[in-house]
Amino acid sequence: MSPTGNDQVICTLYEGDYHLGVAVLINSIVRSGFRGLFWVGHRGELPPWTAHLQLRADGLYQVGEALLGFEEIDRPYHFAQFKPEFMSGIIDRRIARKYLWYFDPDITVRCEWEFFERWVKFGVCLCQEITMGVMPSNHPLRCEWKEIVENHGWGEVGEEQERYYNSGFVGLDIRHRTFVDMWKAGMQIAISTGITEFNLQHGTRADAFFSTDQDALNLAAMYSKAPLTTIGPEGMGWIPGGFTMYHTVGGKKPWRKKFVRSAFSGVPPWNGDKHFLECAGGPIQPFSPAHLKKMRRAARVASFVGRFYGQQ
């Protein structure tokens, strides 16, 4: 049975070792002051670290002053392609009553949660991508998207966009759920053009749909008519000046990194790695104390080595 009537719900999706990222994401948000519900979609067994959490009579886990629930997903989609459908289901089942946020499981939150509460009142919260983050309204890919969706009866663009947004984070008041609905519809249109829902990316960036979930999200930003409130790439820690999140993109996640080896290759720990290790010791314990101590020590050594073999 799903819980109902939660004013603030944060959701994410994981499979495999990404449960380690989920644990640290939750730790970072709990320590920032969040007191709502975490709702986690997963494939496979529950994370081993749940064994050390308090399980309530209603099936939810207590994590600090927040609650945590799990939902097993049996759809074969790549989870990146499943995000809008997952969010839509959370709204439809009234798990979220007022506000809903999605975070990728390789994100950590840096600031007080109260900022996110203020932010979401202005519209759909998004962060600009760092790769091709500036995407003019007359970009040829946008023009191609318009041609494709016109054949599906989408009508006129709600608001021309000049920036391209990352799909790792979305926050909204459920009154603006039209954004999620159009994101989901955009995914279906991409699939109708021959895109597979089983892969993260398709073809090359020269194709109309490449990073399918992000392209569909940016279609929603153009057509949904929901108000947007956006932050640049600093919002995910990719350039200086940010204060909201760190988003560790790519295959070398903090829980997988060989920090010292990477440093000798000219890639020292970045601030997102350090913040991950800082938050790994919260109310959820994804690592043993000895292993966490070893990881933190390796990161310190790697940071020192990085002074000579590379720059952050």
Domains of the chain: which residue ranges?
A: 6-236, 250-309
pLDDT-derived band of residue 155, with 50, 70 and 90 as boundaries? confident
Instruction: List the single range of 165-169, 193-197, 220-224, 270-274 with lowest mean pLDDT.
Output: 193-197
For 129-238, strand residue ranges (E) read: 165-173, 228-231
pLDDT tens for each residue of 156-212: 898 899 999 999 999 999 999 999 999 999 999 988 877 766 566 677 888 888 888
pLDDT average, residue stretch 261-287: 94
Position 293 pLDDT exceeds 80: yes
Q: What is the mean pLDDT of the chain?
A: 93
Position 3 pLDDT exceeds 90: no
pLDDT average, residue stretch 31-37: 97
Query: Regarding predicted confidence, which is higher, 83 or 155?
Result: 83
Q: Give the per-residue pLDDT at 200.
A: 65
AA letter at 222: M
Q: Give the per-residue pLDDT at 197.
A: 65
pLDDT tens for each residue of 43-89: 999 999 999 999 999 999 999 999 999 999 998 878 888 999 999 99
Distance CA 286, CA 48 (A): 8
Structure tokens at 224: 């949904």
Helix, strand, coil fractions of the chain, as percent rounded to 5 = 40, 20, 40
Checking phi first, is residue 208 left (phi over 0); if not, alpha (psi -120 to 50) or beta?
alpha
Q: Give the per-residue pLDDT at 312.
A: 43
Render the burial of 245-269: b for 16+ CB within 10 Å, e for the rest: bbbbbeeebbbebebbebbeeebbb
Q: Which CATH superfamily is domain 6-236 in?
A: Spore Coat Polysaccharide Biosynthesis Protein SpsA; Chain A (3.90.550.10)
Distance CA 44, CA 25 (A): 19
Give ∠ CA 189-193-196 in degrees, rounded to 5: 90
Q: Is the dihedral of CA 277, 283, 286, 287 positive or negative?
A: positive
